[in-house]
Chains A and B, each alone.
Chain A
Amino acid sequence: MIEFDAVRKQYPDGTVAVERFDLVVPSHRVVALVGSSGSGKTTLLRMVNRMVEPSSGSVRIDDVDVRSMDPVRLRRSIGYVLQAGGLLPHRTVADNVATVPLLEGRSRRQARADALGLLERVGLDPAIADRYPAQLSGGQQQRVGVARALAADPNILLMDEPFGAVDPIVRDQLQTELRALQADIGKTIVFVTHDIDEAFALADEVVVLRAGAEIAQRGTPAEILAAPADDFVASFVGAGTARRSLRIREIDGRALVVDGDGRPTGVLER
Protein backbone atom coordinates (compact mmCIF):
# COMPACT_ATOMS: atom_id res chain seq x y z
CA MET A 1 0.00 0.00 0.00
CA ILE A 2 1.28 3.46 -0.95
CA GLU A 3 -0.09 6.53 0.77
CA PHE A 4 0.42 10.11 -0.29
CA ASP A 5 -0.37 12.26 2.71
CA ALA A 6 -0.79 15.98 2.05
CA VAL A 7 2.31 16.11 -0.14
CA ARG A 8 3.39 19.34 -1.72
CA LYS A 9 6.32 19.98 -4.01
CA GLN A 10 7.83 23.30 -4.83
CA TYR A 11 10.99 23.13 -6.95
CA PRO A 12 13.92 25.39 -6.06
CA ASP A 13 13.07 27.67 -9.00
CA GLY A 14 9.68 28.37 -7.41
CA THR A 15 7.52 26.12 -9.63
CA VAL A 16 4.82 24.48 -7.55
CA ALA A 17 4.44 21.12 -9.26
CA VAL A 18 2.17 19.63 -6.59
CA GLU A 19 -0.09 21.85 -4.49
CA ARG A 20 -1.46 19.29 -2.07
CA PHE A 21 -2.06 15.69 -2.89
CA ASP A 22 -3.66 12.83 -0.99
CA LEU A 23 -4.07 9.34 -2.36
CA VAL A 24 -4.07 5.76 -1.17
CA VAL A 25 -2.94 3.10 -3.60
CA PRO A 26 -4.07 -0.26 -2.24
CA SER A 27 -1.78 -3.27 -2.59
CA HIS A 28 -1.98 -5.39 -5.75
CA ARG A 29 -3.91 -2.69 -7.57
CA VAL A 30 -3.08 -0.72 -10.68
CA VAL A 31 -3.56 3.02 -10.38
CA ALA A 32 -3.08 5.40 -13.29
CA LEU A 33 -2.22 9.06 -12.90
CA VAL A 34 -3.44 10.92 -15.98
CA GLY A 35 -3.28 14.58 -16.78
CA SER A 36 -1.93 16.98 -19.32
CA SER A 37 1.73 17.82 -19.66
CA GLY A 38 3.20 19.55 -16.63
CA SER A 39 0.40 18.57 -14.26
CA GLY A 40 2.90 17.02 -11.85
CA LYS A 41 2.51 13.31 -12.61
CA THR A 42 6.21 12.51 -12.85
CA THR A 43 6.87 14.52 -9.72
CA LEU A 44 4.33 12.45 -7.77
CA LEU A 45 5.73 9.18 -9.06
CA ARG A 46 9.29 10.12 -8.19
CA MET A 47 8.33 10.97 -4.66
CA VAL A 48 7.65 7.30 -4.09
CA ASN A 49 11.24 6.23 -4.70
CA ARG A 50 12.74 9.45 -3.34
CA MET A 51 14.04 10.72 -6.64
CA VAL A 52 12.12 13.82 -5.56
CA GLU A 53 11.65 14.81 -1.93
CA PRO A 54 8.31 16.42 -1.02
CA SER A 55 8.52 19.98 0.31
CA SER A 56 5.96 18.99 2.92
CA GLY A 57 3.70 16.05 3.67
CA SER A 58 4.83 12.47 3.45
CA VAL A 59 4.73 9.34 1.34
CA ARG A 60 4.36 6.01 3.15
CA ILE A 61 4.82 2.50 1.89
CA ASP A 62 3.07 -0.07 4.09
CA ASP A 63 2.90 2.54 6.83
CA VAL A 64 6.61 3.32 6.74
CA ASP A 65 7.57 6.86 5.78
CA VAL A 66 9.91 6.61 2.78
CA ARG A 67 12.01 9.37 4.30
CA SER A 68 13.12 6.93 6.97
CA MET A 69 14.45 4.52 4.36
CA ASP A 70 17.82 4.59 2.64
CA PRO A 71 17.12 5.93 -0.87
CA VAL A 72 19.35 3.39 -2.61
CA ARG A 73 17.79 0.40 -0.77
CA LEU A 74 14.34 1.86 -1.40
CA ARG A 75 14.97 2.24 -5.13
CA ARG A 76 16.34 -1.27 -5.47
CA SER A 77 13.18 -2.59 -3.83
CA ILE A 78 10.91 -0.78 -6.28
CA GLY A 79 10.68 -1.51 -10.00
CA TYR A 80 10.90 1.58 -12.17
CA VAL A 81 10.04 1.68 -15.87
CA LEU A 82 10.74 4.79 -17.89
CA GLN A 83 9.73 6.06 -21.26
CA ALA A 84 12.11 4.65 -23.90
CA GLY A 85 13.41 2.12 -21.43
CA GLY A 86 16.25 4.11 -19.87
CA LEU A 87 18.55 1.16 -20.49
CA LEU A 88 22.32 1.37 -20.07
CA PRO A 89 23.66 1.57 -23.63
CA HIS A 90 26.99 -0.10 -22.81
CA ARG A 91 25.54 -3.24 -21.24
CA THR A 92 23.93 -6.20 -22.94
CA VAL A 93 20.23 -6.87 -22.61
CA ALA A 94 20.88 -9.63 -20.08
CA ASP A 95 23.16 -7.41 -17.99
CA ASN A 96 20.60 -4.63 -18.11
CA VAL A 97 17.88 -6.92 -16.84
CA ALA A 98 20.19 -8.28 -14.16
CA THR A 99 21.39 -4.84 -13.04
CA VAL A 100 19.75 -4.73 -9.63
CA PRO A 101 20.34 -8.39 -8.70
CA LEU A 102 24.01 -7.90 -9.61
CA LEU A 103 24.20 -4.73 -7.53
CA GLU A 104 22.71 -6.74 -4.69
CA GLY A 105 25.49 -9.28 -5.03
CA ARG A 106 23.65 -12.13 -6.72
CA SER A 107 26.02 -14.49 -8.57
CA ARG A 108 26.45 -13.78 -12.27
CA ARG A 109 25.24 -17.23 -13.30
CA GLN A 110 22.12 -17.03 -11.22
CA ALA A 111 21.39 -13.43 -12.30
CA ARG A 112 21.78 -14.36 -15.94
CA ALA A 113 19.55 -17.39 -15.67
CA ASP A 114 16.89 -15.28 -13.98
CA ALA A 115 17.26 -12.59 -16.63
CA LEU A 116 16.65 -15.09 -19.43
CA GLY A 117 13.50 -16.25 -17.67
CA LEU A 118 12.30 -12.69 -17.29
CA LEU A 119 12.90 -11.95 -20.95
CA GLU A 120 10.63 -14.82 -21.86
CA ARG A 121 8.11 -13.60 -19.37
CA VAL A 122 7.82 -10.20 -21.08
CA GLY A 123 7.51 -11.82 -24.48
CA LEU A 124 11.09 -11.58 -25.72
CA ASP A 125 13.20 -14.27 -27.33
CA PRO A 126 16.05 -15.04 -24.91
CA ALA A 127 18.28 -15.15 -28.00
CA ILE A 128 18.50 -11.37 -27.84
CA ALA A 129 20.09 -11.51 -24.38
CA ASP A 130 23.54 -10.71 -25.70
CA ARG A 131 22.53 -7.81 -27.88
CA TYR A 132 22.93 -4.19 -26.88
CA PRO A 133 19.95 -1.87 -26.41
CA ALA A 134 20.70 0.06 -29.60
CA GLN A 135 20.18 -3.17 -31.54
CA LEU A 136 16.57 -3.52 -30.40
CA SER A 137 13.37 -1.93 -31.65
CA GLY A 138 11.59 0.58 -29.45
CA GLY A 139 9.02 -1.99 -28.38
CA GLN A 140 11.71 -4.52 -27.50
CA GLN A 141 13.61 -1.94 -25.45
CA GLN A 142 10.44 -1.18 -23.58
CA ARG A 143 9.92 -4.86 -22.78
CA VAL A 144 13.50 -5.09 -21.54
CA GLY A 145 12.74 -2.09 -19.32
CA VAL A 146 9.80 -3.97 -17.82
CA ALA A 147 11.90 -7.09 -17.35
CA ARG A 148 14.56 -5.07 -15.56
CA ALA A 149 11.98 -3.55 -13.25
CA LEU A 150 10.74 -7.04 -12.35
CA ALA A 151 14.21 -8.50 -11.80
CA ALA A 152 14.42 -7.87 -8.07
CA ASP A 153 10.86 -9.16 -7.66
CA PRO A 154 9.66 -5.87 -6.17
CA ASN A 155 6.20 -5.45 -4.65
CA ILE A 156 5.81 -2.08 -6.28
CA LEU A 157 6.21 -1.04 -9.91
CA LEU A 158 6.38 2.60 -10.93
CA MET A 159 5.93 3.31 -14.62
CA ASP A 160 6.41 6.73 -16.19
CA GLU A 161 4.75 6.81 -19.59
CA PRO A 162 6.04 3.31 -20.12
CA PHE A 163 4.72 3.01 -23.64
CA GLY A 164 5.01 6.63 -24.71
CA ALA A 165 7.80 6.07 -27.21
CA VAL A 166 6.37 3.23 -29.27
CA ASP A 167 3.90 3.22 -32.13
CA PRO A 168 0.18 2.63 -31.46
CA ILE A 169 0.14 -0.98 -32.61
CA VAL A 170 3.07 -1.99 -30.44
CA ARG A 171 1.59 0.03 -27.59
CA ASP A 172 -1.65 -1.96 -27.81
CA GLN A 173 0.31 -5.18 -27.81
CA LEU A 174 2.40 -4.12 -24.79
CA GLN A 175 -0.71 -3.07 -22.88
CA THR A 176 -2.35 -6.41 -23.48
CA GLU A 177 0.78 -8.22 -22.35
CA LEU A 178 1.15 -6.08 -19.26
CA ARG A 179 -2.44 -6.86 -18.29
CA ALA A 180 -1.78 -10.58 -18.66
CA LEU A 181 1.44 -10.25 -16.70
CA GLN A 182 -0.29 -8.34 -13.91
CA ALA A 183 -3.01 -10.99 -13.67
CA ASP A 184 -0.15 -13.35 -12.94
CA ILE A 185 2.10 -11.35 -10.63
CA GLY A 186 -0.34 -9.00 -8.91
CA LYS A 187 2.04 -6.13 -8.15
CA THR A 188 1.08 -2.75 -6.80
CA ILE A 189 1.49 -0.56 -9.87
CA VAL A 190 1.40 3.21 -10.18
CA PHE A 191 1.72 4.42 -13.70
CA VAL A 192 1.72 7.78 -15.35
CA THR A 193 0.33 8.54 -18.78
CA HIS A 194 -1.34 11.33 -20.64
CA ASP A 195 -3.19 8.84 -22.78
CA ILE A 196 -6.61 8.34 -21.19
CA ASP A 197 -7.24 5.23 -23.27
CA GLU A 198 -4.09 3.66 -21.87
CA ALA A 199 -5.26 4.50 -18.37
CA PHE A 200 -8.67 2.92 -19.03
CA ALA A 201 -7.04 -0.10 -20.61
CA LEU A 202 -4.69 -0.88 -17.75
CA ALA A 203 -5.84 0.63 -14.49
CA ASP A 204 -8.19 -0.55 -11.79
CA GLU A 205 -8.43 3.04 -10.69
CA VAL A 206 -7.79 6.24 -12.61
CA VAL A 207 -6.81 9.57 -11.09
CA VAL A 208 -7.33 12.57 -13.39
CA LEU A 209 -5.07 15.47 -12.52
CA ARG A 210 -5.23 19.18 -13.21
CA ALA A 211 -2.28 21.56 -13.04
CA GLY A 212 -0.54 21.40 -9.68
CA ALA A 213 -1.55 17.75 -9.35
CA GLU A 214 -5.01 18.74 -8.13
CA ILE A 215 -7.29 15.71 -8.34
CA ALA A 216 -10.13 16.47 -10.75
CA GLN A 217 -11.68 13.04 -10.34
CA ARG A 218 -10.77 9.55 -9.25
CA GLY A 219 -12.59 6.33 -9.78
CA THR A 220 -12.75 3.20 -11.87
CA PRO A 221 -12.69 3.71 -15.63
CA ALA A 222 -16.41 2.93 -15.70
CA GLU A 223 -17.24 5.50 -13.04
CA ILE A 224 -15.27 8.20 -14.81
CA LEU A 225 -16.73 7.47 -18.21
CA ALA A 226 -20.26 7.20 -16.84
CA ALA A 227 -20.14 10.40 -14.84
CA PRO A 228 -17.31 12.83 -15.52
CA ALA A 229 -17.09 15.12 -12.50
CA ASP A 230 -16.82 18.34 -14.48
CA ASP A 231 -16.11 19.84 -17.89
CA PHE A 232 -12.36 19.35 -17.48
CA VAL A 233 -12.70 15.62 -16.93
CA ALA A 234 -15.37 15.39 -19.60
CA SER A 235 -13.15 16.99 -22.21
CA PHE A 236 -10.17 14.96 -21.02
CA VAL A 237 -11.96 11.65 -21.50
CA GLY A 238 -13.61 12.96 -24.64
CA ALA A 239 -17.13 12.54 -23.30
CA GLY A 240 -19.71 13.51 -25.89
CA THR A 241 -17.30 13.22 -28.81
CA ALA A 242 -18.08 10.91 -31.69
CA ARG A 243 -15.53 8.39 -30.43
CA ARG A 244 -17.23 8.01 -27.03
CA SER A 245 -20.89 8.28 -28.15
CA LEU A 246 -21.60 4.75 -29.26
CA ARG A 247 -24.94 3.60 -30.58
CA ILE A 248 -26.33 0.30 -31.75
CA ARG A 249 -27.52 -0.19 -35.27
CA GLU A 250 -29.22 -3.38 -36.43
CA ILE A 251 -27.88 -4.76 -39.67
CA ASP A 252 -28.96 -8.18 -40.98
CA GLY A 253 -30.20 -9.13 -37.55
CA ARG A 254 -26.87 -8.35 -35.87
CA ALA A 255 -26.28 -5.48 -33.48
CA LEU A 256 -23.50 -3.28 -34.79
CA VAL A 257 -21.90 -0.72 -32.48
CA VAL A 258 -21.28 2.58 -34.27
CA ASP A 259 -19.72 5.82 -33.03
CA GLY A 260 -21.23 9.29 -33.13
CA ASP A 261 -20.32 9.68 -36.80
CA GLY A 262 -21.95 6.38 -37.64
CA ARG A 263 -18.65 4.59 -38.19
CA PRO A 264 -18.79 0.94 -37.13
CA THR A 265 -16.46 0.00 -34.26
CA GLY A 266 -17.63 -3.51 -33.37
CA VAL A 267 -20.35 -6.05 -33.02
CA LEU A 268 -22.47 -6.44 -29.89
CA GLU A 269 -22.37 -10.00 -28.59
CA ARG A 270 -25.57 -11.01 -26.86
Chain B
Amino acid sequence: MNLFLEAIQWILDPASWTGEHQLGARVLEHLAFSAAVLLAAALLGIPAGIAIGHSGRGRGLVIALTSGARALPTLGLLTILGLGLGIGLEAPFLALLVLALPPVLAGAYAGVESVDRATVGAARAIGFTEWQVLACVELPLAAPVIIGGLRSAALQVISTATLAAYIADTGLGRPLFRALKTQEYGVMLGASILVALLALVVELCFHAIQSAAARRAEPHRTTPRRAHARARERTHR
Protein backbone atom coordinates (compact mmCIF):
# COMPACT_ATOMS: atom_id res chain seq x y z
CA MET B 1 0.00 0.00 0.00
CA ASN B 2 3.05 2.17 0.48
CA LEU B 3 3.50 2.08 -3.26
CA PHE B 4 0.00 3.41 -3.81
CA LEU B 5 0.70 6.33 -1.51
CA GLU B 6 3.85 7.03 -3.46
CA ALA B 7 1.92 6.79 -6.73
CA ILE B 8 -0.79 9.15 -5.57
CA GLN B 9 1.75 11.59 -4.21
CA TRP B 10 3.43 11.54 -7.60
CA ILE B 11 0.13 12.23 -9.38
CA LEU B 12 -0.72 15.08 -6.99
CA ASP B 13 2.76 16.60 -7.04
CA PRO B 14 2.61 19.74 -9.22
CA ALA B 15 6.16 18.96 -10.32
CA SER B 16 4.89 15.90 -12.18
CA TRP B 17 2.61 18.13 -14.22
CA THR B 18 5.21 20.80 -14.99
CA GLY B 19 8.55 19.03 -14.74
CA GLU B 20 10.09 16.32 -16.87
CA HIS B 21 6.86 14.26 -17.18
CA GLN B 22 4.53 17.11 -18.28
CA LEU B 23 1.49 15.09 -17.26
CA GLY B 24 -1.01 17.64 -18.59
CA ALA B 25 0.52 17.48 -22.03
CA ARG B 26 0.63 13.68 -21.85
CA VAL B 27 -3.06 13.43 -21.01
CA LEU B 28 -3.95 15.78 -23.86
CA GLU B 29 -1.69 13.86 -26.24
CA HIS B 30 -3.28 10.62 -25.21
CA LEU B 31 -6.81 11.94 -25.66
CA ALA B 32 -6.15 13.81 -28.90
CA PHE B 33 -4.39 10.86 -30.45
CA SER B 34 -7.14 8.46 -29.42
CA ALA B 35 -9.84 10.82 -30.64
CA ALA B 36 -8.12 11.21 -34.01
CA VAL B 37 -7.95 7.46 -34.47
CA LEU B 38 -11.55 7.01 -33.39
CA LEU B 39 -12.71 9.74 -35.74
CA ALA B 40 -10.90 8.13 -38.65
CA ALA B 41 -12.35 4.74 -37.75
CA ALA B 42 -15.84 6.23 -37.51
CA LEU B 43 -15.56 8.05 -40.84
CA LEU B 44 -14.47 4.85 -42.56
CA GLY B 45 -16.34 2.22 -40.59
CA ILE B 46 -19.79 3.67 -39.98
CA PRO B 47 -20.77 4.35 -43.60
CA ALA B 48 -19.32 1.00 -44.68
CA GLY B 49 -21.10 -0.84 -41.88
CA ILE B 50 -24.39 0.88 -42.62
CA ALA B 51 -24.09 0.04 -46.29
CA ILE B 52 -23.44 -3.60 -45.44
CA GLY B 53 -26.30 -3.77 -42.95
CA HIS B 54 -28.67 -1.98 -45.31
CA SER B 55 -27.90 -4.18 -48.31
CA GLY B 56 -27.05 -7.39 -46.48
CA ARG B 57 -24.00 -7.88 -48.69
CA GLY B 58 -20.52 -8.42 -47.27
CA ARG B 59 -21.77 -9.88 -44.03
CA GLY B 60 -19.21 -12.69 -44.00
CA LEU B 61 -16.42 -10.17 -44.43
CA VAL B 62 -17.43 -8.25 -41.30
CA ILE B 63 -17.57 -11.41 -39.22
CA ALA B 64 -14.20 -12.63 -40.46
CA LEU B 65 -12.66 -9.20 -39.87
CA THR B 66 -13.91 -8.88 -36.31
CA SER B 67 -12.88 -12.35 -35.19
CA GLY B 68 -9.55 -12.03 -37.02
CA ALA B 69 -8.83 -8.65 -35.46
CA ARG B 70 -9.45 -10.01 -31.99
CA ALA B 71 -6.81 -12.68 -32.49
CA LEU B 72 -4.25 -10.22 -33.87
CA PRO B 73 -1.81 -9.28 -31.08
CA THR B 74 -1.75 -5.51 -30.68
CA LEU B 75 1.89 -5.33 -29.67
CA GLY B 76 2.91 -7.40 -32.68
CA LEU B 77 1.06 -5.05 -34.99
CA LEU B 78 2.58 -2.00 -33.31
CA THR B 79 6.14 -3.27 -33.46
CA ILE B 80 6.03 -4.55 -37.03
CA LEU B 81 4.56 -1.25 -38.22
CA GLY B 82 7.11 0.59 -36.06
CA LEU B 83 9.93 -1.24 -37.79
CA GLY B 84 8.41 -0.59 -41.20
CA LEU B 85 7.41 3.06 -40.80
CA GLY B 86 10.08 4.19 -38.34
CA ILE B 87 9.77 6.31 -35.22
CA GLY B 88 6.82 8.69 -35.26
CA LEU B 89 3.09 8.73 -34.92
CA GLU B 90 2.30 7.08 -38.28
CA ALA B 91 2.90 3.52 -37.10
CA PRO B 92 0.80 3.71 -33.94
CA PHE B 93 -1.91 5.63 -35.79
CA LEU B 94 -2.15 2.93 -38.41
CA ALA B 95 -1.99 0.11 -35.86
CA LEU B 96 -4.71 1.68 -33.75
CA LEU B 97 -6.87 2.29 -36.80
CA VAL B 98 -6.58 -1.37 -37.77
CA LEU B 99 -7.74 -2.30 -34.27
CA ALA B 100 -10.53 0.27 -34.06
CA LEU B 101 -12.11 -0.41 -37.45
CA PRO B 102 -13.55 -3.90 -36.89
CA PRO B 103 -15.65 -3.03 -33.82
CA VAL B 104 -16.91 0.18 -35.43
CA LEU B 105 -17.76 -1.65 -38.64
CA ALA B 106 -19.39 -4.52 -36.79
CA GLY B 107 -21.43 -2.17 -34.60
CA ALA B 108 -22.73 -0.17 -37.55
CA TYR B 109 -23.48 -3.33 -39.48
CA ALA B 110 -25.15 -5.16 -36.61
CA GLY B 111 -27.12 -2.08 -35.62
CA VAL B 112 -28.70 -1.59 -39.01
CA GLU B 113 -29.14 -5.33 -39.43
CA SER B 114 -30.95 -5.57 -36.08
CA VAL B 115 -33.67 -3.13 -37.08
CA ASP B 116 -36.89 -5.04 -37.66
CA ARG B 117 -37.35 -5.47 -41.43
CA ALA B 118 -41.12 -5.24 -41.01
CA THR B 119 -40.75 -1.77 -39.50
CA VAL B 120 -38.54 -0.66 -42.36
CA GLY B 121 -40.95 -2.15 -44.90
CA ALA B 122 -43.87 -0.39 -43.24
CA ALA B 123 -42.05 2.95 -43.35
CA ARG B 124 -41.37 2.48 -47.04
CA ALA B 125 -44.96 1.43 -47.68
CA ILE B 126 -46.40 4.60 -46.21
CA GLY B 127 -44.13 6.80 -48.27
CA PHE B 128 -40.73 7.36 -46.64
CA THR B 129 -38.02 7.99 -49.23
CA GLU B 130 -34.94 5.76 -49.02
CA TRP B 131 -33.06 8.56 -47.25
CA GLN B 132 -35.89 9.08 -44.80
CA VAL B 133 -35.98 5.34 -44.10
CA LEU B 134 -32.27 5.52 -43.30
CA ALA B 135 -32.33 8.79 -41.34
CA CYS B 136 -35.67 8.53 -39.51
CA VAL B 137 -36.00 4.79 -38.96
CA GLU B 138 -32.85 2.75 -39.39
CA LEU B 139 -30.31 5.13 -37.82
CA PRO B 140 -32.25 6.07 -34.67
CA LEU B 141 -33.15 2.44 -34.05
CA ALA B 142 -29.60 1.28 -34.75
CA ALA B 143 -27.89 4.10 -32.84
CA PRO B 144 -27.38 2.25 -29.53
CA VAL B 145 -25.61 -0.61 -31.27
CA ILE B 146 -23.59 1.73 -33.51
CA ILE B 147 -22.47 3.68 -30.45
CA GLY B 148 -21.70 0.38 -28.72
CA GLY B 149 -19.27 -0.36 -31.54
CA LEU B 150 -17.63 3.05 -31.10
CA ARG B 151 -17.44 2.42 -27.39
CA SER B 152 -15.52 -0.83 -27.68
CA ALA B 153 -13.28 0.76 -30.29
CA ALA B 154 -12.61 3.68 -27.93
CA LEU B 155 -11.61 1.34 -25.10
CA GLN B 156 -9.37 -0.59 -27.41
CA VAL B 157 -7.76 2.63 -28.67
CA ILE B 158 -7.17 4.21 -25.24
CA SER B 159 -5.62 1.00 -24.06
CA THR B 160 -3.40 0.53 -27.07
CA ALA B 161 -2.41 4.19 -27.12
CA THR B 162 -0.69 3.46 -23.80
CA LEU B 163 1.24 0.67 -25.41
CA ALA B 164 2.05 2.93 -28.36
CA ALA B 165 4.58 4.77 -26.20
CA TYR B 166 6.73 1.68 -26.54
CA ILE B 167 7.47 2.72 -30.11
CA ALA B 168 6.48 6.40 -30.30
CA ASP B 169 7.12 7.99 -26.90
CA THR B 170 3.75 9.69 -26.70
CA GLY B 171 0.78 9.87 -24.35
CA LEU B 172 0.48 8.51 -20.85
CA GLY B 173 2.49 5.44 -21.76
CA ARG B 174 5.57 7.64 -21.92
CA PRO B 175 6.09 8.23 -18.18
CA LEU B 176 5.17 4.59 -17.64
CA PHE B 177 7.91 3.27 -19.90
CA ARG B 178 10.44 5.85 -18.65
CA ALA B 179 9.80 4.72 -15.09
CA LEU B 180 10.06 1.10 -16.11
CA LYS B 181 13.62 1.81 -17.29
CA THR B 182 14.58 3.72 -14.16
CA GLN B 183 12.89 1.21 -11.86
CA GLU B 184 10.65 3.88 -10.24
CA TYR B 185 7.72 1.69 -9.37
CA GLY B 186 5.75 4.52 -7.76
CA VAL B 187 5.81 6.53 -10.98
CA MET B 188 4.85 3.48 -13.07
CA LEU B 189 1.95 2.86 -10.78
CA GLY B 190 0.91 6.52 -10.84
CA ALA B 191 0.93 6.60 -14.63
CA SER B 192 -1.02 3.35 -14.75
CA ILE B 193 -3.63 4.73 -12.39
CA LEU B 194 -3.97 7.84 -14.55
CA VAL B 195 -4.45 5.73 -17.67
CA ALA B 196 -7.02 3.58 -15.91
CA LEU B 197 -8.89 6.68 -14.72
CA LEU B 198 -8.82 8.16 -18.19
CA ALA B 199 -10.21 4.95 -19.65
CA LEU B 200 -12.92 4.80 -17.01
CA VAL B 201 -13.96 8.39 -17.68
CA VAL B 202 -14.17 7.72 -21.41
CA GLU B 203 -16.10 4.53 -20.74
CA LEU B 204 -18.58 6.36 -18.53
CA CYS B 205 -19.06 9.09 -21.15
CA PHE B 206 -19.80 6.51 -23.80
CA HIS B 207 -22.09 4.69 -21.42
CA ALA B 208 -24.10 7.87 -20.93
CA ILE B 209 -24.25 8.56 -24.67
CA GLN B 210 -25.30 5.01 -25.39
CA SER B 211 -28.04 5.08 -22.75
CA ALA B 212 -29.37 8.31 -24.21
CA ALA B 213 -29.45 6.74 -27.67
CA ALA B 214 -31.15 3.65 -26.29
CA ARG B 215 -33.80 5.77 -24.63
CA ARG B 216 -34.53 7.36 -27.98
CA ALA B 217 -34.58 4.06 -29.85
CA GLU B 218 -36.63 2.24 -27.23
CA PRO B 219 -38.39 5.02 -25.40
CA HIS B 220 -40.36 2.58 -23.38
CA ARG B 221 -37.76 0.25 -21.94
CA THR B 222 -38.54 -2.78 -19.86
CA THR B 223 -36.17 -5.03 -18.00
CA PRO B 224 -34.72 -7.76 -20.23
CA ARG B 225 -36.82 -10.43 -18.55
CA ARG B 226 -40.06 -8.60 -19.12
CA ALA B 227 -39.17 -7.76 -22.69
CA HIS B 228 -38.38 -11.42 -23.22
CA ALA B 229 -41.69 -12.51 -21.74
CA ARG B 230 -43.49 -9.97 -23.88
CA ALA B 231 -41.77 -11.23 -27.03
CA ARG B 232 -42.84 -14.74 -26.18
CA GLU B 233 -46.38 -13.62 -25.52
CA ARG B 234 -46.41 -12.13 -28.99
CA THR B 235 -45.25 -15.25 -30.77
CA HIS B 236 -47.86 -17.27 -28.94
CA ARG B 237 -50.67 -15.10 -30.19
Contact = CB atoms under 8 A, between A and B. Distances in A.
Interface of A: 46, 49, 51, 72-77, 80, 82, 84-90, 92, 99-100, 103, 131-132, 134-135, 138, 148-149, 165-167
A103 to B, nearest CB: 6
Contacts of A87: 119, 122
Given A49-B125, A100-B126, A134 B119 contact: no
Given A103-B132, A134-B220, A165-B237, A89 B126 contact: no
Interface size class of B (residues with CB under 8 A): 20 to 34
Contacts of B140: 90
A103 B128 contact: yes
B218 interface: yes
Contacts of B217: 89-90
Nearest to B141: A90
B55 interface: no
B216 interface: yes
B237 A138 contact: yes
Contacts of A74: 127
A88 B137 contact: yes
Most buried by A among B118, B124, B125, B218: B125
B88 interface: no
25 contacts: A46-B125, A49-B125, A72-B128, A72-B129, A73-B127, A75-B124, A75-B126, A76-B127, A77-B127, A80-B122, A82-B118, A82-B121, A82-B122, A82-B125, A86-B121, A88-B136, A89-B116, A89-B141, A89-B218, A103-B128, A131-B220, A134-B218, A134-B222, A134-B230, A138-B237
Contacts of B216: 90
Contact of A100 (B127, B137, B237): B127
Nearest to A76: B127
A57 B125 CA distance: 21
Interface of B: 116, 118-119, 121-129, 132, 136-137, 140-141, 216-220, 222, 230, 237
A44 B141 CA distance: 30
Given A75-B127, A80-B126, A166-B237, 17 more contacts: A74-B127, A75-B125, A77-B127, A80-B122, A82-B118, A82-B122, A82-B125, A85-B122, A87-B119, A88-B123, A88-B136, A89-B217, A90-B141, A90-B218, A103-B128, A134-B222, A138-B237
A77 B128 CA distance: 12
Contacts of B127: 72-77, 100, 103
A90 B116 CA distance: 12
Q: Which of A76, A134, A135 has the most chain B CB within a 10 Å cutoff?
A: A134
Contacts of B218: 89-90, 134
Nearest to A104: B127
Nearest to A85: B122
Contacts of B136: 88
A187 to B, nearest CB: 15
Contacts of B126: 75-76, 80, 99-100, 148-149
Nearest to B222: A134
B220 A135 contact: yes
B132 A86 contact: no
Nearest to A51: B125
Contacts of B222: 134
Contacts of B129: 72
Nearest to B221: A134
B118 A86 contact: yes
Contact of A132 (B124, B219, B230): B219
